[in-house]
Structure 1
Amino acid sequence: FAHSIGVFHTARALVEILDREMKRNKQIFDGRMAEVALIAALLHDLGHGPFSHTFEGVQDSRGVKKRHETWTADIIRNPNGKVRSLLEDHRDGFTEEVAALLEKEDPEHIYHAIVSSSFDADRLDYLRRDKLMTGTGAGGIDFDWLVENVRVAEIEIDAPDEDGGEPRRVPTFCLTAKARPAAEQFLLARYTLHQQVYFHKATRCVEHMIGKLLRAVAKLAAGKKSDVKKSGLPENHPLIRFFAKKGETVENYLALDDALVFGAIDAMSQAEDADVAEIATRLRERKLYKTLDIAEFGEDPGRQRGRLRRIRERFADQIKAETVMLDDKAAIGIYAEIGGDEERMHKKLHILDGDNPVEISKLSDLVHVLETKKQFTRLYFATEADRDAARR
């Protein structure tokens, strides 16, 4: 909630910048589209499930590809919900304008950049907020100087087509050349937060443990009535309702949040199902799985792959049973973001080289070096003995 308010506040600052830049470029500022972008910024995370991207990963493992952006749009459009009526009271059709902007993957106009770009309100808020809330010394950015040097310019978001047609161009936020050092620090801040906070071994281990618990509950909920009872949860519990066959409705989804899962941990720790009971008890008592980082064997990629291969062969049965969990999906580069789509050109930071916007890695050796993604590969072991055996 606090993040959403912060994103809304930052979006208002970006709207003021946009108004300034439109006047500078002798263009007409569209107040109606700015309103759409502001409310989209406020509501952008409405569709996150419990534990955010962890829940999305659980759903993905079950073959459900629905991302939180789509849930957000469904919640906004829900005729039985409270959001739609508020938006329609503002003006007819406002609901669809906001939902459609949030669903768009590629930008069509500059107002989209407020919600989704290299310099959007979301990342400008979470970088500062997460640094503050985690207490890390890493991740500082010169926000005021960056904002002062924001400009609007058109960038190419598609390569030329085979017929030699012109690539598609869209306007987005760029930074002046004198802000390049601050822009480098902005990207480094994201890099270090991922490295030290989001991809911290304890963070990733807990996420995998929660994922294992929710997958086990989902499997029972989708089974027979006798299976549901083994979860430790009553038949009408929101988790059971959602994971049941045909249970993925907006109404059931809205009943889920972090507090609901935390509140169910004790009941699940007494489940008949051994997997549910074991992982719930561990989470309640903070008895985390033991981490082995493949980087312990050195930085040489060949050596790492060799050790990982031997571990996977030796612990194949445990990996299948998830008493050993393999985490090989975390990778960090200068544009890395959890659940992100950072390869899209409008999500990359551009610096004005004269009047020409240039992607920053082409101007900055520092950014160029960090473009290549660094893979984090870890294994989480139910027992310390197995972890120690894997090290040998």
Structure 2
Amino acid sequence: MHGLIVFSETSPIDMLAWKLIDAPEFQRLRRIRQLGVSEFTFPGAVHTRFAHSIGVFHNARTLVEIIRREMKRKNQEFDEKRAEIVQIAALLHDLGHGPFSHTFEGVQEARGVKKRHEQWTAEIIRNEAGRIRPLLDKFRAGFCDQVAELLEAEDPVDIYHAVVSSSFDADRLDYLRRDKLMTGTGAGAIDFDWLMDNVRVAEIELGAPDEEEEPVEKVATFCLTAKALPAAEQFLLARYTLHQQVYFHKTTRCVEHMIGKLLSRIAKHAAQENEIEKQTGLEKDHPVIKFFGKGGETVVSYLGLDDALIFGALGSMARAIDPEISDLALRLRERKLYKTLDIADVGHDEGRQRQRLRKIKKDFEAQLADGSVILDEKAAISIYSEIGGDEDRTHKKLHILDGGKPVEISVLSPMIKALERKQQFTRLYFENDQDRDKARGKKGQIHD
């Protein structure tokens, strides 16, 4: 995909990246899948956040050179130190992902812990007892905090920030192509070389002007020339297709909810500290138990968690006396998944879908309450959808230079405009096959 990625011995930032890759915190990413449980649906989707992060670093170097070229063209000074910060930030941006990434964040949120992977990333980077901080501090005084602060920032402050957070950042330029390749998804072509050749830097407005307040804020970001419009349309369509066919695939979502249910149950027993080994099948010093136990949510315990650890413990969890834990563990181990019912099976009429959902909620009220039926209505996509949620901020939208001025692409493209409206996916996952069949109606059809 990228070809040979070279780390030059004459480049200080490349040599720093090389050392960081060897750190245990970065090597942990070998054990975290980029697409979580998508391999249940797409067997080839076994690529890791380790490979992805190196690809992001490679893209960041390319985008930095584009900034260098654009600064020269505009007779502006290139900030070498700022460029070094964003390249290392790009390399380390995924350090804080937990096992199964967004699924794990959902479990934590349900427990009242709203701590996203970006916050964990910053903590891991700043951890004085870790291997990352000493390398960054040795490179330059204050460098560690500068990298962490960049990754924590929600709003961009300059063009360098766009390397790690924009409509055309180094992250999505890697995962879109990598995920498409590894899942074997045929739809949605990306003319990467043409797009990169047509990247420019221009200022966009972050919000609408307010007559009574301060003037609208502007920030420099990546835009594309007008001749790249067709390729930009295909770029966004590829992202849309991946969300539709891969990230929100019904089987993948089902597995995510099953794992979420399993981890939530484990966490409950770990917090109660009552017959943990019998109830969960895991020893008291197992990393999962230690993390979910009282006072266990530390950087050290978090770094002990990964996909391989949890998948490897399914055999032990299958022997738990808690029937929910043992059943879920065995189902996941043998791929005997809950049965899915997609509300869209009644047709595309939204009124009819809502009517049918109301009836199912009424008929299966008890099962929805005890978790034997799971309702999933948080998956929604539009042309700007992001993994883990929708992203509506201006700097995340793609801009085309029209007459030298940046214009959001949907203004110029009727095709993109048509896909701005969110498409909702509403599914139910049934532990009991008979319940699913009852909800579907006779002969496998949903009836009103």
Aligned to 1:22: 71
Query: Does the residue aligned with 1:225 lie in a helix, a strand or coil?
Result: coil
1:325 aligns with 2:371: no
Out of 20, 35, 43, the residue aligned to residue 84 of structure 2 is 35
AA aligned opposite 2:250: K
Q: How much does 1:114 deviate?
A: 0.2
Aligned to 1:248: 297
- Conserved 8 A contact 1:117-1:173: yes
Out of 357, 367, 372, the residue aligned to residue 421 of structure 2 is 372
Aligned to 1:184: 233
Q: How much does 1:383 deviate?
A: 2.1
Q: Per-residue CA shift, 1:127-161, capped at 9, x if unaligned?
A: 11001111111232000000000000000112223
1:49 aligns with 2:98: yes
CA distance in 2 between counterparts of 1:54 and 1:209 reads: 10
Q: Which ranges in structure 1 are unaligned for 5 or more consecutive residues?
A: none
CA distance in 2 between counterparts of 1:229 and 1:31 reads: 57
CA distance in 2 between counterparts of 1:226 and 1:250 reads: 26
Aligned to 2:23: none
Q: How much does 1:246 deviate?
A: 1.6
1:174 aligns with 2:223: yes
AA aligned opposite 1:362: V
TM-score normalised by the chain length of structure 2:
0.86
CA distance in 2 between counterparts of 1:93 and 1:164 reads: 35
TM-score normalised by the chain length of structure 1:
0.98
More divergent stretch after superposition (34-43 vs 313-322): 313-322
Out of 375, 380, 387, the residue aligned to residue 338 of structure 1 is 387
Out of 337, 341, 344, the residue aligned to residue 288 of structure 1 is 337
* Cα-Cα RMSD: 1.0
Out of 172, 177, 184, the residue aligned to residue 128 of structure 1 is 177
Q: 1:271 to 1:156 in 2, by over 3 A?
A: same
Aligned to 1:220: 269
Aligned to 2:14: none
1:88 aligns with 2:137: yes
Aligned to 1:304: 353
Q: How much does 1:224 deviate?
A: 2.8
Q: Per-residue CA shift, 1:54-91, capped at 9, x if unaligned?
A: 10111111111100000000000000000000111111
Q: Per-residue CA shift, 1:194-225, capped at 9, x if unaligned?
A: 11111111111111111110011011111133
AA aligned opposite 1:87: L
Query: Does the residue aligned with 1:171 lie in a helix, a strand or coil?
Result: strand
Q: How much does 1:388 deviate?
A: 1.1
CA distance in 1 between counterparts of 2:214 and 2:125 reads: 38
- Conserved 8 A contact 1:128-1:139: no
CA distance in 2 between counterparts of 1:216 and 1:340 reads: 25
CA distance in 2 between counterparts of 1:63 and 1:339 reads: 18
Query: Does the residue aligned with 1:34 lie in a helix, a strand or coil?
Result: helix
1:207 aligns with 2:256: yes
- Conserved 8 A contact 2:276-2:284: no
- Conserved 8 A contact 1:141-1:182: yes
AA aligned opposite 2:152: E
Out of 162, 167, 187, the residue aligned to residue 138 of structure 1 is 187
Q: How much does 1:316 deviate?
A: 1.0
Aligned to 1:69: 118
CA distance in 2 between counterparts of 1:380 and 1:254 reads: 31
CA distance in 2 between counterparts of 1:341 and 1:17 reads: 28
- Conserved 8 A contact 2:71-2:77: yes
More divergent stretch after superposition (342-351 vs 228-237): 228-237
Runs of 4+ in 1 over 3 A off after TM superposition: none
Q: Which ranges in structure 2 are unaligned for 5 or more consecutive residues?
A: 1-49, 442-448
Q: How much does 1:322 deviate?
A: 1.2
AA aligned opposite 1:44: H
